[in-house]
Amino acid sequence: MRLRKWRSNRKAQITWGKPAWEFMMMKTALKNAANTAGEKVKLKRRRFLKTGAAIGAAASLCTRSISARGRVERPTVLGIGAGGRGRADLEQVSKAGMDVVALCDVFDIRKFEKVTNKRLKGLVSVREAYSGAVFGTDYRQMLVELGDKIDAVVISTPDHHHFHAAMQAMLSGKHVYCQKPLTHGIWEARMLAETAKKTGVITQMGNQAHANDHMRRCVELIRAGIVGKVKEIHAWTNRPIWPQGFDAPPPPEAVPPGVNWKQWIGPAPATPYSSKIAPFAWRGWWNYGTGALGDMACHIMDVGFWSMSEANKPASPRQVIAQQRGATEYSPPINSIITWDFPACPFSAGDGFKFFWYDGFVKGQFDRDSWTLDRGGKEYNHPSSEVLDGMDFEKFGSVIIGEHGKLFFNRSRPDWQLRTGSRIENFQWPDETLPRAGGENYGEWHDAIAGKIPQCQSNFSLAGPMTEAILLGVLAQRHSDQLLQWNSEKLQITGRPDLNAQIRRDYASGWDAVEAFGL
């Protein structure tokens, strides 16, 4: 497949024809670099940690040198995933001062006879808004053919594509903005964090509230001890808002004209096309999404995780356990409670702290006839009344409990609140230590690319470890009521080699990480 040329405008100066063998040469170079560094690349999972040398060597083979080309005031962007969340992401990077010059989506909306789905209608407006942008359905080919004509990528795909898109982009010297969760798998999060550091590209995960001033102020206050040393953190959500808890796939449907379903499936196990999977409900499938936890925890757990992470030493749990109802071999649960146990840090009480997560509906049921999640009323899964201490759980999303009080927080509003018992009268208010972004998550990414600031605050060095911890919770949901002891150094659950395949997943033919990246 050849990419469509841009329609005439000032940006249509790209000359096509970079041969596909350039990408094959890059893959060969990655393998050779791995071997030169003494790493004989194999697919065996027992050696999946021995990839650091390969990453380091691969980083040195980026097709563009970040330091050589300097920073870019008005970066050019490839949007990977242009509908739904992608539409909003592209609007925001445009407002931040970036030029969207290329679009990639498996839904070629111009081939549709009729567009009725509201999310697909968004693709129509995206194609109109960026009418001069080149369009394709395979981001791997586009990254090769676009070459130096793009500076950055925005990844707004389903979770199972995040790793491949981000890794190829970084190894091509592109700055990366990737939606949350950073990856679909635990090993993938570790690899992206390490590769981002070694390539030096500017990275940002799409947990937008990380850029809010009240988020950063509360992190400073928690670290300064406004509630004393932290004992517990609780976070909750009213998701899922899509079907979850089904025990069999829906009947297959004919693939509509204009949909590249093979590319949508990509590295994941093949499944027949169904409108009950894409373009929206994929979050309720283990193979493609990570449920309500993966969707919302990078937002709602952010203030707690960031507060308890030291500089250059993000928090990492030592064990996790989940209780859940409704999870199946296909789908995440209807509701769950997850408990992580973290080791001590300078901001915690005793020998560590616990982090609790709540999602779903207490009386929810999956209805196969309508293929919907019946909420069973509005009884959300949330912390106990003792934890909430009289506060409205719908007004907040998390609470940090310390030795001297509680701080209730909502990522979307600046009206965080302290409960009685906090030592506010004698508290020494700290100076601002975190840089401020004024809520501009996308603007912060632009400013870092332009060289106005060193790096984004939700860069992959923090976003990767937080995603790891959250995906450990996803793993616990799939093996509920089992205490999983995490060995972060080895990327293993202690005594559970049977879970290795869920820490580093296998990929479909043509998408293997060894073949593509030498990992």
Average pLDDT rounded to a whole number, residues 274-289: 97
Cα separation, 456 vs 435, in Å, equals 10
pLDDT digits (tens, 9 = 90+) for 485-507: 999 999 999 999 999 999 999 99
The answer on 107 and 78 residing in a single domain is yes
The answer on 223 and 102 residing in a single domain is no
The answer on 370 and 352 residing in a single domain is yes
The answer on 244 and 184 residing in a single domain is no
Q: Residue 120 falls within a domain, yes or no?
A: yes
CA 247 to chain centre: 26
Using DSSP bridges, classify how beta strands 99-104 and 76-80 pair: parallel, antiparallel or unpaired. Answer: parallel
Residue 69 pLDDT: 53
The answer on 195 and 298 residing in a single domain is no
The answer on 326 and 297 residing in a single domain is yes
Average pLDDT rounded to a whole number, residues 225-233: 96
DSSP element (H, E) containing 416:
strand 413-418
Q: Residue 281 falls within a domain, yes or no?
A: no
What single string gives the DSSP state of each residue in 244-267?
A: ---SSPPPP-PPPTTB-HHHHHTT
The answer on 157 and 230 residing in a single domain is no
Q: Residue 276 falls within a domain, yes or no?
A: no
The answer on 52 and 130 residing in a single domain is yes
Residue 5 pLDDT: 37
Using DSSP bridges, classify how beta strands 230-236 and 352-360 pair: parallel, antiparallel or unpaired. Answer: parallel
Cα separation, 213 vs 407, in Å, equals 16
Residue 67 pLDDT: 46
The answer on 225 and 86 residing in a single domain is no
Average pLDDT rounded to a whole number, residues 51-80: 66
Rg, Å, the chain Cα set: 23
Burial class (CB in 10 A: 0-12, 13-18, 19+), 318: middle
Q: Residue 325 falls within a domain, yes or no?
A: yes
- Structurally, the chain folds into a number of domains equal to 2
Q: How far is CA 95 from CA 74, 92, 99, 418, in A?
A: 11, 5, 9, 35
CATH of the domain at 139: 3.40.50.720
Residue 9 has pLDDT above 90, yes or no: no
pLDDT digits (tens, 9 = 90+) for 178-203: 999 999 999 999 999 999 999 999 99
Q: List alpha helices for 71-161, DSSP H.
A: 85-95, 118-129, 139-146
- Domain ranges, residue 338: 211-252+292-438+468-499
Query: Would you put residue 143 in left (φ > 0), alpha (ψ -120 to 50) or beta?
Result: alpha
Residue 420 pLDDT: 66
Cα separation, 240 vs 284, in Å, equals 8
Residue 14 pLDDT: 30
Cα separation, 277 vs 285, in Å, equals 8
The answer on 107 and 239 residing in a single domain is no
Q: Residue 280 falls within a domain, yes or no?
A: no
- Identity at 234, one-letter amino acid code: H
Residue 49 pLDDT: 37
Residue 61 pLDDT: 55
Residue 169 has pLDDT above 70, yes or no: yes
> What's the chain's length in residues?
519
Average pLDDT rounded to a whole number, residues 275-304: 98
Residue 108 pLDDT: 95
Residue 302 has pLDDT above 90, yes or no: yes
Residue 114 pLDDT: 85
What single string gives the DSSP state of each residue in 101-122?
A: EEEE-SB-GGG-S----HHHHH
Closest among 475, 454, 453 to 181, alpha carbons compared: 475
The answer on 244 and 114 residing in a single domain is no
CATH of the domain at 327: 3.30.360
Residue 378 pLDDT: 82
Q: Residue 446 falls within a domain, yes or no?
A: no
The answer on 238 and 188 residing in a single domain is no
pLDDT band for position 426 (cuts 50, 70, 90): confident
Residue 91 has pLDDT above 90, yes or no: yes
Three-state SS sequence of 7-41: CCCCCCCCCCCCCCHHHHHHHHHHHHHHHHCCCCC
Residue 47 has pLDDT above 50, yes or no: no
Q: Residue 231 falls within a domain, yes or no?
A: yes
Give the least confident one: 25-29, 102-106, 126-130, 226-230.
25-29
CB 298 within 8 A of CB 391: no
Q: Residue 370 falls within a domain, yes or no?
A: yes
